[in-house]
Amino acid sequence: MERESLTQLATLAHPQRMAVFRLLMRRYPDEVAAGEIGRALVLKPSTTSVYLSALTEAGLIAQRRVGTSLRYRIEMPAVRDLLRFLAADCCRARPDLCPPLDLSTLAGDPEMPDRRYNVLFICVGNSARSIFAESLLRDMAGDRFVVHSAGTRPYSQLNPFALEVLEQKGHDTAPLRAKTVAEFQGPDAPAMDFVFTVCDRAANEECPPWPGQPITAHWGVPDPVKATGSDAEKSLAFQQAYGMLKNRMRAFAALPLGTLDRVALQAAVDDIATHDGEVQS
């Protein structure tokens, strides 16, 4: 175990291999194509292949062929073993040296039985998918969640097809606007309990850790803004994105937050990303 852990630490010591590892951690549980990783990190294909091979050989990521494409995903059991090695062996499990995460933050706080959880949905433009997620969860469970959305590079206006879908579904679009993530990262910003990325580009981007260690997950949805064809075909793409996010919001709103510890809750939100189910209108 020690030799394997040391090999993994040596592999992660290289800054660009670490960048690949970070990207795949942000995209977990997604499988990401090698070409997409290279484009996101501005790496040559040959360089990307070398870094991915090193991480695979160290047991930190797994490779799977899909057609002509190689896709990569974090090997989460190995990552957990590495963290346990660092905490138990190097720190000797001393909380003064390696303080454990506060697992009570989202686990049935008896002093705040009626507390509402802050949730932030992020995509690049904050004009469609994250706006859908914000509107859906607010209308489904606004009594339990304070819901926000933002973009890493937001557009100045919301997408008209997105607004049309929301209005057709009966959502109030008046309070919606495109916002930057910077609004939620300052000292006066609300402390987030959950942060979800809903587009791959936003998840691929480096961003500073969120204060308070919120639960994070990637719930990637195809970008309807990229749809081509007639207005009817474009509108259908927005309807499909809305339906996928509606399924995920239903599953998230149904989670018994007061009875799950942080580990179980993280597993639950990761699982939601892999089960879209049948698209609902």
Whether residue 73 is found in the same domain as residue 141 = no
Whether residue 141 is found in the same domain as residue 30 = no
Q: Does the residue 227 lie in any domain? A: yes
CA torsion sign for 139, 197, 144, 147 is: negative
For residue 27, the domain's CATH number is: 1.10.10.10
Q: Does the residue 100 lie in any domain? A: no
Residue 6's domain comprises 2-90
Whether residue 160 is found in the same domain as residue 263 = yes
Query: Residue range 101-107: average pLDDT?
Result: 50
The Cα 9–Cα 237 span in angstroms is 43
What integer pLDDT is reported at residue 208 of this predicted model? Answer: 74
Q: Does the residue 279 lie in any domain? A: no
Whether residue 84 is found in the same domain as residue 161 = no
Whether residue 74 is found in the same domain as residue 203 = no
Residue 209 corresponds to which amino acid?
P
Query: Residue range 85-103: average pLDDT?
Result: 67
The Cα 168–Cα 172 span in angstroms is 10
Say if residue 45's pLDDT is above 80: yes
Say if residue 95's pLDDT is above 70: no
Stated pTM of the model: 0.83
DSSP tag of 33? E
Say if residue 266's pLDDT is above 50: yes
The Cα 80–Cα 69 span in angstroms is 27
Cβ(97)–Cβ(91) below 8 Å: yes
Q: Does the residue 108 lie in any domain? A: no
For residue range 180-216, list pLDDT tens digits in order: 999 998 888 999 999 999 999 989 987 777 888 899 9
Whether residue 138 is found in the same domain as residue 55 = no
Beta bridge partners of 218: 197
Q: How many CB atoms lie within 10 A of CB 256?
A: 10
CA distances from 129 to 174, 208, 222 (A): 17, 22, 9
Contacts for 263 with CB less than 8 Å, ≥ 6 apart: 103
Whether residue 237 is found in the same domain as residue 185 = yes
pLDDT cut 90: percent of the chain above it: 72
Cis peptide bond N-terminal to 29, omega within 30: yes
How many domains, in total, are found in the chain? Answer: 2
> What is the separation of C-alpha 211 from the centre of its chain, rounded to a whole number of angstroms?
16
Whether residue 206 is found in the same domain as residue 79 = no
What integer pLDDT is reported at residue 96 of this predicted model? Answer: 66
Whether residue 62 is found in the same domain as residue 190 = no
Backbone angles phi, psi at 20, to 5 degrees: -65, -45
Say if residue 70's pLDDT is above 70: yes
Q: Does the residue 126 lie in any domain? A: yes
Candidate from 96-100, 105-109, 223-227 with smallest mean pLDDT: 105-109
Whether residue 264 is found in the same domain as residue 211 = yes
